[in-house]
Structure 1
Amino acid sequence: MDTRLSYASSRRASATASLMVIVSIIIGSAAARAALVPLS
């Protein structure tokens, strides 16, 4: 029971970390695109 609980919490932590990485990539690409628009 305890191992299942820790397994679920670790999966939730990894899912949250991957979600933060995806969000940061989206924000970074949007910022780069906004910075490139005035140049072009």
Structure 2
Amino acid sequence: MPLLPMDQEWSDEILYQRYALDQDEITLIESMVRPMGGDE
């Protein structure tokens, strides 16, 4: 598990760029991982 600085906010888009994910990888992640937060 990579360690990220916690003094900033990390969005999915920023993480995708940070780890140079391609569209196929992003699509796989978004199909497998449920959003967190909200009214669950």
* TM-score calculated relative to the size of structure 2: 0.30
Higher relative CO (CA 8 A, sep ≥ 6), structure 1 or 2?
A: 2
Higher Cα radius of gyration: 1
**Structure whose residues are more often helix by fraction:** 1
